[in-house]
Protein backbone atom coordinates (compact mmCIF):
# COMPACT_ATOMS: atom_id res chain seq x y z
CA UNK A 1 0.00 0.00 0.00
CA UNK A 2 2.92 2.36 0.68
CA UNK A 3 4.00 2.12 -2.99
CA UNK A 4 0.46 2.91 -4.12
CA UNK A 5 0.37 5.96 -1.82
CA UNK A 6 3.54 7.18 -3.55
CA UNK A 7 2.15 6.64 -7.06
CA UNK A 8 -1.29 8.23 -6.69
CA UNK A 9 -0.04 11.83 -6.17
CA UNK A 10 2.31 11.36 -9.11
CA UNK A 11 -0.50 10.21 -11.37
CA UNK A 12 -2.79 12.98 -10.21
CA UNK A 13 -0.09 15.51 -11.07
CA UNK A 14 0.07 14.09 -14.56
CA UNK A 15 -3.69 14.15 -14.94
CA UNK A 16 -3.94 17.81 -14.05
CA UNK A 17 -1.79 18.90 -16.99
CA UNK A 18 -4.49 19.16 -19.65
CA UNK A 19 -6.60 21.57 -17.56
CA UNK A 20 -3.50 23.71 -17.16
CA UNK A 21 -3.35 24.01 -20.92
CA UNK A 22 -7.05 24.75 -21.30
CA UNK A 23 -7.30 27.29 -18.50
CA UNK A 24 -3.92 29.00 -18.36
CA UNK A 25 -4.30 32.75 -18.28
CA UNK A 26 -0.64 33.61 -18.60
CA UNK A 27 1.93 32.66 -21.16
CA UNK A 28 1.54 32.11 -24.86
CA UNK A 29 -0.49 29.19 -26.17
CA UNK A 30 0.58 28.10 -29.65
CA UNK A 31 -1.31 25.67 -31.88
CA UNK A 32 0.32 24.43 -35.10
CA UNK A 33 -1.61 22.27 -37.55
CA UNK A 34 -1.90 21.52 -41.25
CA UNK A 35 -5.48 22.88 -41.28
CA UNK A 36 -7.74 24.99 -39.06
CA UNK A 37 -11.47 25.66 -39.12
CA UNK A 38 -12.89 28.29 -36.78
CA UNK A 39 -16.54 29.21 -36.31
CA UNK A 40 -16.99 31.95 -33.71
CA UNK A 41 -20.79 32.00 -34.11
CA UNK A 42 -20.98 28.30 -33.17
CA UNK A 43 -18.19 28.54 -30.58
CA UNK A 44 -15.84 25.92 -31.93
CA UNK A 45 -12.51 25.48 -33.63
CA UNK A 46 -11.01 22.37 -35.20
CA UNK A 47 -7.32 21.88 -35.93
CA UNK A 48 -6.26 18.85 -37.96
CA UNK A 49 -3.17 17.26 -39.43
CA UNK A 50 -0.09 16.90 -37.24
CA UNK A 51 -1.51 19.11 -34.48
CA UNK A 52 0.89 20.44 -31.85
CA UNK A 53 -0.16 22.58 -28.90
CA UNK A 54 2.57 24.14 -26.77
CA UNK A 55 2.51 26.27 -23.66
CA UNK A 56 5.07 26.80 -20.90
CA UNK A 57 6.86 23.45 -21.21
CA UNK A 58 3.70 21.49 -22.00
CA UNK A 59 3.55 19.73 -25.36
CA UNK A 60 0.34 18.13 -26.63
CA UNK A 61 0.35 16.39 -30.01
CA UNK A 62 -2.21 14.49 -32.04
CA UNK A 63 -4.10 14.26 -35.30
CA UNK A 64 -7.09 16.47 -34.45
CA UNK A 65 -7.87 19.06 -31.75
CA UNK A 66 -11.46 20.24 -31.27
CA UNK A 67 -12.21 23.12 -28.92
CA UNK A 68 -15.84 23.94 -28.12
CA UNK A 69 -16.81 27.05 -26.22
CA UNK A 70 -20.60 27.41 -26.04
CA UNK A 71 -22.30 30.65 -25.04
CA UNK A 72 -22.17 29.64 -21.35
CA UNK A 73 -18.39 30.21 -21.45
CA UNK A 74 -17.43 26.64 -20.54
CA UNK A 75 -14.70 24.98 -22.56
CA UNK A 76 -14.41 21.43 -23.86
CA UNK A 77 -11.16 20.47 -25.58
CA UNK A 78 -10.52 17.08 -27.21
CA UNK A 79 -7.24 15.92 -28.75
CA UNK A 80 -7.43 12.75 -30.83
CA UNK A 81 -4.54 10.77 -32.26
CA UNK A 82 -2.89 7.44 -32.81
CA UNK A 83 -2.06 8.14 -30.04
CA UNK A 84 -2.55 11.66 -28.75
CA UNK A 85 0.43 12.47 -26.51
CA UNK A 86 0.90 14.90 -23.61
CA UNK A 87 4.40 15.59 -22.26
CA UNK A 88 5.32 17.91 -19.40
CA UNK A 89 8.27 18.29 -17.05
CA UNK A 90 7.15 20.13 -13.91
CA UNK A 91 9.74 22.39 -12.26
CA UNK A 92 9.94 20.18 -9.17
CA UNK A 93 9.86 16.85 -11.01
CA UNK A 94 12.50 14.18 -11.39
CA UNK A 95 11.55 13.67 -15.02
CA UNK A 96 8.85 14.17 -17.62
CA UNK A 97 5.27 13.01 -17.23
CA UNK A 98 3.85 11.47 -20.39
CA UNK A 99 0.22 10.60 -21.08
CA UNK A 100 -1.03 8.83 -24.19
CA UNK A 101 -4.50 7.83 -25.35
CA UNK A 102 -6.55 7.71 -28.52
CA UNK A 103 -8.61 10.60 -27.11
CA UNK A 104 -7.97 13.16 -24.33
CA UNK A 105 -10.89 15.42 -23.32
CA UNK A 106 -11.13 18.16 -20.71
CA UNK A 107 -14.43 19.82 -19.76
CA UNK A 108 -14.19 23.00 -17.67
CA UNK A 109 -17.86 22.82 -16.58
CA UNK A 110 -17.57 19.42 -14.92
CA UNK A 111 -13.81 19.79 -14.31
CA UNK A 112 -13.44 16.29 -15.75
CA UNK A 113 -10.40 14.99 -17.66
CA UNK A 114 -10.95 11.79 -19.63
CA UNK A 115 -8.33 9.68 -21.42
CA UNK A 116 -9.83 6.94 -23.61
CA UNK A 117 -8.47 4.20 -25.83
CA UNK A 118 -5.26 2.66 -24.58
CA UNK A 119 -4.92 5.32 -21.88
CA UNK A 120 -1.48 5.38 -20.24
CA UNK A 121 0.31 7.72 -17.84
CA UNK A 122 4.06 7.35 -17.20
CA UNK A 123 6.64 9.03 -15.04
CA UNK A 124 9.91 7.22 -14.90
CA UNK A 125 9.11 3.56 -14.24
CA UNK A 126 5.72 4.34 -12.61
CA UNK A 127 2.80 3.65 -14.96
CA UNK A 128 -0.98 3.49 -14.99
CA UNK A 129 -2.71 2.00 -18.01
CA UNK A 130 -6.36 1.25 -18.74
CA UNK A 131 -8.93 1.45 -21.48
CA UNK A 132 -10.26 4.62 -19.87
CA UNK A 133 -8.96 6.92 -17.13
CA UNK A 134 -11.21 9.65 -15.66
CA UNK A 135 -10.11 12.29 -13.20
CA UNK A 136 -12.51 14.75 -11.60
CA UNK A 137 -10.59 17.81 -10.44
CA UNK A 138 -13.48 19.10 -8.32
CA UNK A 139 -13.48 16.17 -5.90
CA UNK A 140 -10.02 14.80 -6.78
CA UNK A 141 -11.32 11.35 -7.65
CA UNK A 142 -9.83 9.08 -10.26
CA UNK A 143 -11.39 6.07 -11.95
CA UNK A 144 -9.73 3.66 -14.32
CA UNK A 145 -11.54 0.96 -16.26
CA UNK A 146 -10.42 -1.73 -18.66
CA UNK A 147 -11.71 -1.96 -22.19
CA UNK A 148 -12.87 -4.90 -24.29
CA UNK A 149 -9.50 -6.63 -24.08
CA UNK A 150 -7.74 -4.46 -21.49
CA UNK A 151 -7.52 -4.43 -17.74
CA UNK A 152 -6.34 -1.71 -15.39
CA UNK A 153 -2.64 -2.02 -14.65
CA UNK A 154 -0.51 -0.02 -12.20
CA UNK A 155 3.23 -0.62 -12.22
CA UNK A 156 5.32 0.63 -9.31
CA UNK A 157 9.00 -0.33 -9.26
CA UNK A 158 10.55 -1.72 -6.11
CA UNK A 159 12.48 0.87 -4.10
CA UNK A 160 16.26 0.90 -4.40
CA UNK A 161 17.40 -0.73 -1.17
CA UNK A 162 21.10 -0.73 -2.05
CA UNK A 163 21.54 2.64 -0.27
CA UNK A 164 19.33 1.78 2.70
CA UNK A 165 20.91 2.11 6.18
Q: How confident is the model at residue 136 (pLDDT cuts 50, 70, 90)?
A: confident
Could you tell me which residues come within 8 angstroms of residue 45 by beta carbon, excluding any fewer than 6 positions away? 36, 37, 38, 39, 66, 67
- Domain 2-155: CATH superfamily, name plus number: Lipopolysaccharide (LPS) transport protein A like domain (2.60.450.10)
SS3 category, 109: coil
C-alpha 153/C-alpha 119 separation (Å) is 11
**Lowest-confidence segment of 13-17, 41-45, 124-128, 137-141 by average pLDDT:** 13-17
C-alpha 149/C-alpha 40 separation (Å) is 40
Q: Distances in Å between the alpha carbon of 136 and those of 19, 58, 85, 111, 144?
A: 11, 20, 20, 6, 12
Domain definitions of the chain by residue range: 2-155
Burial class (CB in 10 A: 0-12, 13-18, 19+), 37: exposed
23 pLDDT higher than 60? no
DSSP 8-state symbol, 5? H
9 pLDDT higher than 50? no
Q: What's the pLDDT score for residue 27? A: 60
The chain-wide mean pLDDT, for the chain, equals: 80
Amino acid sequence: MNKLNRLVPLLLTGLTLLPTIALAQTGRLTVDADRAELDESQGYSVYSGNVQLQQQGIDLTGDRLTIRRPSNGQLRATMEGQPARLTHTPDNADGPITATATSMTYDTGSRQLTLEGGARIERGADTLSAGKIEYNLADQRMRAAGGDSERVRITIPAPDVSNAP
